[in-house]
Structure 1
Amino acid sequence: MSVVFTCLDADTLGGVQQVTHTLAQGLAERGHEVHVVGLHRAASPFQYVDRPRYHRHVISRASMESQGRRERGRADERVKELFREIKPGYAVMTSPSVVTRLAGLLPAAFRRIGQYHGSYDHARGCWHLGSIRRHYPGLDQAVFLSEDDAWLFSEHALLPNAWTLPNPLATWPAEMSALDSPRVLGVGRLEGVKRFDRLISAFARSGAPPPWELHLIGDGVELERLREHAARECVGDRVVFRGVVSAARMPDEYRNASILGLTSEHEGLPIVLLEAGAHGVPSVAFDVSGGVRATGPVLVPPGDVEAFGAVLAGLMDSAEERRRLGADARARAEAFSLDPVLDRWESLFTHIER
């Protein structure tokens, strides 16, 4: 049977897209017929897989913001036509928006799986929880990133079909960081929700002595504001904005780091924590979800910049503690390597067929 992953857009630089392409390639390499569908074009497409063994489709060349009613109607017809051409299987809808848009368009021959890449706490703070309550109970399976979140959705959204499937690592690195480079790493889109201003402030509060630096990998609308914030925090000369780094070069970035910091307002199960852990790099993160807790970083109360800075200071000061936590992180990350996660997806398919 086929497996079709559908995103609002499938090629933007982001966690949902990275996970989608990783799963698609992994399942295709196991012999499944796999498709990745973007309902809209990506403004700046990012190449996640050099030689994809799955099929890729873009339904509408119009962006989400510019699509009018007539264009949306034509796009819906193209979705129906595409699914008629694909042999029956599993339709994996990667967000509440996709479930709302797609569930009524799918042929009856497709089993419908709705993912949610956020946490329960994030969902209840916005429209997501209401949408999940309305649309996910009627699906064949509702999939969440951690046992904690699956349980919370089951209890509070009355979902009878909740299932847990974590995000996977695309590869398992053979080399680890030596943890001797004076570098703290932050990775992600430079957008408000990632709150890199808090990471910059925590780095400043840590009293990090030279030559320690904070390297931020990613691009986005917050770039200039973050530069100004670093200058106000008197660390402008030691916060390095690296821009977008290709997936092929990211292992070098982890090997050249000694600590990873994550200060997002909300997260599901962040791939950056898994990638850092796989390279033996300890992480510090705000305790914002079951998915974050599952990856095993040093946890700090959400928004507590002073506490975050204190943890960074302790890790900068102790190579021994960095090595201890880095070894723990690598051991924990192994459960998220690709093959075990693909096994769990295939178990889900078997469960649905029963």
Structure 2
Amino acid sequence: MKIRYMLLHAYGMGGTIRTVVNQANAMAEAGHDVEIVSTVRRRTSPQFEIDKRVKVWALVDQRQGVSADSLARRMWRRARGKIVPYGEFAAHYFTERVEAAVMEYVASVDDGILVTTRPALNLISARRGSGKAIRVAQEHMNLASYHPAVREQISRHYGAFDAIAVLTETSRAEYRAIYDDTPIVRIPNAVAMEHRKHSDQSNPVIVAAGRLVPQKGYDMLISAFATIAEAHPEWTVRIFGTGPSQEKLQARIDTAEMNGRVTLMGRSDRIHEELTDASIYALSSRMEGLPMAMIEAMGHALPVVAFDCPTGPADLITQGRNGVLVPPRDVEAFGAELSRLIGDVELRRRLGAAAAETAREYTPETVMPLWEGLFTALSNRAPIARDYGAAH
């Protein structure tokens, strides 16, 4: 099969990029003809390892900077009207040049399978795709997390797709309420688990990982830990990742007098070792799709304390069996559950062992056949089961 994956920025960092690269690599390994098409290019080299059999290229090269200024973007919006709606998280990427390049590309694809991977690209594919290729929309966030303008466009145009792929059963129900006749398939992110060393729960370290952005709720994690830090003087928090909220988060750490107790670690090339060296994983997100970093932590036998935010944590965590769910944004409760796990090593070990078992359900060996099966069925115009990809 010819399979084309379209990303916003295939040369960047992020969970969506990593999962799509993993898919592309797996499909190439299975013998398919695979391309990754990057809407823009702002780095010379990809940040994730891409199989040499996968062709990678970009529509718009922005390594020398973005030429369109804000006035030009506003004029484009007034004069032509954007397909990409206001409120899409990446709307600022879609200057006149970028949006026109994407429209031209999707209109030119006349065979194989075209997989688009975020609302902006999905909407352009739905509205401007040639209709000759099989079109699949991937959604990596829950529908309710999007701006109302984005949800309105999704509800108008996603019916053009041959299938909509979501990460969780909650998301499947959201989309089925809009599109009952379009195949809505659940295919979770895949996380490789081989050679994962389990934590022995000996180090007094709480770890978190992800982009330093408001969505991840690290401000709440800092506040939660500050409420219990005095009671547990040997414990520290390490937050791995980079992003635009770094200065604000450091200021919060300073204000809470948590320097030396909470550390912004930046990006790490040895995150698996860092997870092995920790004893608790904290997921403080305000919203999630299906959190890959949490699955990876569970693969290292780390118990998880997570806000029960829309989709994601509750799809993975069974309360009290393999982790702990806390009411969304309840900082005091989050701190209390961290404290409970800190004080009970046997509980950490029990939850961590069950977490490692759960993580095995998300290995490439389990997930990738779902993608290949979907693409084969779509290519053969075979019916797609309503519960395709359901967890059993």
Structure 1 length-normalised TM: 0.91
Aligned to 1:12: 12
- 1:238 aligns to 2:261 (yes or no): yes
What whole-Å deviation, never above 9, does each CA across 1:87-146 have from its counterpart, x for those lacking one? x321111111101223344444421000111113313x5433222212211200011111
- Partner of residue 73 from structure 1, selected from 88, 100, 121: 100
- 1:333 aligns to 2:359 (yes or no): yes
How far is 1:323 from its partner? 0.6
How far is 1:258 from its partner? 0.8
Distance 1:44 1:317, change over 3 A: farther
Answer with 103-112 or 218-227: which moved more.
103-112
SS in 1 for 2:177: helix
Contact 1:12 1:44 survives alignment (8 Å): no
Aligned to 1:102: 125
Q: Which amino acid aligns with 2:249?
A: L
SS in 1 for 2:199: coil
Cα distance in 2, alignment partners of residues 66 and 331 from structure 1: 40
Aligned to 1:111: 134
Aligned to 1:256: 277
Q: How does 1:175-194 map to 2 (within 5 A)?
A: 175-194=197-216
Contact 1:273 1:295 survives alignment (8 Å): no
- 1:269 aligns to 2:269 (yes or no): no
How far is 1:78 from its partner? 5.1
- Partner of residue 218 from structure 1, selected from 241, 256, 259: 241
Aligned to 2:376: 350
How far is 1:193 from its partner? 1.6
Distance 1:261 1:166, change over 3 A: same
Contact 2:40 2:98 survives alignment (8 Å): no
Contact 2:167 2:289 survives alignment (8 Å): yes
How far is 1:211 from its partner? 2.1
Contact 2:123 2:154 survives alignment (8 Å): no
Contact 1:95 1:115 survives alignment (8 Å): yes
Cα distance in 2, alignment partners of residues 294 and 72 from structure 1: 35
Aligned to 2:73: none
Cα distance in 2, alignment partners of residues 161 and 274 from structure 1: 26
SS in 1 for 2:31: coil
Q: Which amino acid aligns with 1:267?
A: E
- 1:324 aligns to 2:346 (yes or no): no
Cα distance in 1, alignment partners of residues 377 and 180 from structure 2: 20
- Partner of residue 152 from structure 1, selected from 167, 174, 197: 174
SS in 2 for 1:39: strand
Distance 1:346 1:320, change over 3 A: same
Cα distance in 2, alignment partners of residues 201 and 45 from structure 1: 37
Distance 1:9 1:324, change over 3 A: same
Contact 2:8 2:40 survives alignment (8 Å): yes
Cα distance in 2, alignment partners of residues 347 and 338 from structure 1: 14
Q: Which runs of 5+ in 1 are unaligned?
A: none
Measured on the aligned residues, the alpha-carbon RMSD in Å equals 2.2
Aligned to 2:37: 37
Q: Which amino acid aligns with 1:287?
A: D
Q: Which runs of 5+ in 2 are unaligned?
A: 67-90, 318-322, 383-392
Contact 1:90 1:111 survives alignment (8 Å): yes
Identity of aligned residues (%): 31
Distance 1:74 1:338, change over 3 A: closer
Distance 1:118 1:111, change over 3 A: same
Cα distance in 2, alignment partners of residues 71 and 215 from structure 1: 38
